[in-house]
Amino acid sequence: MRKCRFIALLLAVCLMLPAASLAQSQVTYQVFVRAFADSDGDGVGDLIGLAQKLDYIHDLGADSLWLMPIFPSPSYHGYDVTDYRAINSDYGSMEDFQTLLDKAHGLGMRVLLDVPLNHTSLQHPWFTEHPEYYVWADETTPGVNLDAKVWGSKVWKPRDRRYYYALFWEGMPDLNYEQPAVRRKAIDIARYWLAMGVDGFRLDAVSHIYAQAEYGATQDPERSAEWWREFRAALKVDYPDCLLLGEAWEALSMRATLLTGLDAVVNFDVGEQVMGLIKRGGSGKVFVQSLEKIYAAYAQANPDSIDAPFLTNHDQARAYGVLGSKVERAKMAASMLLTLPGNAILYYGEEIGMNGAKPDEEIRTPMLWGGDDPLQTSWHASKYNKATLPLSEQIGDPASLYEHYKALVAQRAEHPALQNGTLAWYGVGNDVLASYALTCPEETLLVIHNFTAEEQKTDFGVLPPYSSLIQPMK
């Protein structure tokens, strides 16, 4: 009897493992391979260059990598894929990818691939060989408005007396998920990379799978979520620990709906709110209460889900410039980001205060290694980073932004409450500040951020401008 009970207990613990391990990726480092490290001297970042810089990322403390698309593509960014089972020749070979994957795993890091499955490249062979994989209409299609516009552009693009649906750009036709073959292909692609050892995916445009722009809406979240639940179930049966991180630049209710088929959705609200507070001021209490509302909606949609906060990503002006190119503000934003629960994401170069604004190329410029680093890329000449201190000039300087990030990531690694604690607003006698408790089975921490340029009094003492107090609570 006792043995049975022990086995039952063991089983229960094992069943709990997949959800627990998802949260183990406490900091994810987002890399644009083209801009990161060049091993063969052509100026273009590649997988072997990245493998040679993994020690840097590991040393910073990130335990997970998000690689922006590495598949063959006619564009520099790669979000328009022509072959989902191969490596972009600019970046190297499949063997190079395996080398990178093995080295990452050897360092205990997980590798997430960015897979755009909402659309392909117009040049993907499917477009001519299997036009039925895409969304088509003509003048006779009932209910369709061929002049419908989203974000200022017509979504129906003319082709051979018909029109194909392309939400983002004419070079990226949307796939038609009404087609069982498309659904099967998408699952097969994911399983192909999981079988190779990949640990999960960053999934592009998850809210747009069922597009309805022709009817005046850009997406159908319920049906898109239904698809992601099917996708997730098909992968988790053999790969229960794989992480599915969705991109949904959408309102909270839609993000929560989509989360029913994902493990996490990137949290666009957090960065915007953090940077807004630092720049313009506001109520820290309102900020913390909005976080509570987000986490409650997420937990209700998917109790095993985790948050994925970040400051800015490859589609947004870089945090440093948004914060007025002031290092004390950039440090404050990092402190606020890295004391929130979930899988925090750092966009490469954020840790050294790289700067950039639209067009997109200027947000994706070469990582600045400095010191005549042989792996320096030169794929794009940045106009925003002339004053940015390269990494080589920040390492070892305790006052540098880089060392601040590194210390924050180390602090996060030491405290399970910072990684996956339950957050609750906690009054400290000053509602200007962001103050909260983080509770997990191991500990409860009190976190207070003074994101203002003035000294602030609290029940726990005076906080200098742009400073944080983190201490255990009894």
Q: Active-site residue numbers?
A: 204, 247
Least distance from Ca ion to the Cβ atom of residue 39, Å: 6
CA angle 246, 22, 57 (to 5 degrees): 85
Which of residues 15 and 381 has its CB atom nearest to Ca ion in the complex?
381
Residue number of the CB closest to Ca ion reads 46
Asked if 378 is part of the footprint of Ca ion (rule: CB under 5 A), the reply reads no
19-38 residues near Ca ion, rule: CB under 5 A: 38
Contact 379, 44 (CB under 8 A): yes
Query: DSSP characters for 280-342?
Result: H---HHHHHHHHHHHHHHHHHH-TT---EEBS--TTS--HHHHTTS-HHHHHHHHHHHTTSSS
- Taking the least distance from each CB to Ca ion, the nearer of 70 and 294 is 70
- Neighbouring CB atoms inside 10 A of 403's CB total 16
Q: What H or E segment, with its residue span, contains residue 180?
A: helix 180-196
Nearest to 453 by CA among 239, 220, 290, 281: 281
Q: Which of 183, 148, 153 is nearest to 168 (CA)?
A: 153
Which residues neighbour 86 within 8 Å (Cβ) at sequence distance 6 or greater?
71, 72, 94
Amino acid letter, residue 391: L
Would you count residue 46 as binding Ca ion (CB under 5 A)?
A: yes
Residue 273 CB neighbours (<10 A): 20
The torsion angles phi and psi of 239, rounded to 5 degrees, stand at -130, 70
Distance from C-alpha of 8 to C-alpha of 311, rounded to nearest angstrom: 43
Asked whether position 374 contacts Ca ion by CB under 5 A, the answer is no
Q: Hey, what's the torsion of the CAs at 145, 146, 149, 154, to 10 degrees?
A: 170
| H or E element in which residue 403 lies | helix 401-414
Q: Which is nearer to Ca ion, 34 or 110 (CB)?
A: 34
Q: How far is the CB of 99 from Ca ion (least distance, A)?
A: 14
The pattern of x and - marking residues 147 through 186 that bind Ca ion according to CB under 5 A reads ----------------------------------------
Q: What's the closest the beta carbon of residue 89 comes to Ca ion, in angstroms?
A: 10
The smaller minimum CB distance to Ca ion, of residues 372 and 414, is found at 372
Comparing CB distances to Ca ion, the nearer of 44 and 363 is: 44
Q: Which is nearer to Ca ion, 49 or 356 (CB)?
A: 49
At its nearest, how many Å lie between Ca ion and the CB of residue 334? 30
Residue 44 interacts with Ca ion (CB under 5 A): yes or no: yes
Helix (H), strand (E) at residue 456: strand 456-458
**Residues with Cβ < 8 Å from 10, sequence gap 6 or more?**
none
**Total interface residues for Ca ion by CB under 5 A:** 5
Instruction: For the CB of residue 41, give the shortest distance to Ca ion in the complex, in Å.
Output: 7
Please identify, among the stretches 43-51, 154-162, 192-200, 407-415, the one whose residues bind Ca ion according to the rule CB under 5 A.
Answer: 43-51
Single out the residue of 6, 10, 40, 315 in contact with Ca ion (rule: CB under 5 A): 40
The token pair that represents 100 in the structure block: 């990178």
The nearest distance, CB 428 to Ca ion, in angstroms, is 51
Q: How far is the CB of 34 from Ca ion (least distance, A)?
A: 9
Decide whether 92 or 416 has the Cβ nearer to Ca ion.
Answer: 92
Residue 42 in contact with Ca ion, rule: CB under 5 A: yes
- Rule CB under 5 A: say whether 80 interacts with Ca ion: no
Cβ of residue 123: shortest distance to Ca ion, in angstroms? 23
Q: Which is nearer to Ca ion, 42 or 59 (CB)?
A: 42
Q: How many CB atoms lie within 10 A of CB 446?
A: 18
> Could you tell me how many helices (H) and strands (E) the chain has, helices first?
15, 19
Tell me the CA distances in angstroms from 465 to 193, 304, 328, 352, 462, one per residue in order: 47, 37, 9, 21, 10
Interface ranges with Ca ion (CB under 5 A)? 38, 40, 42, 44, 46
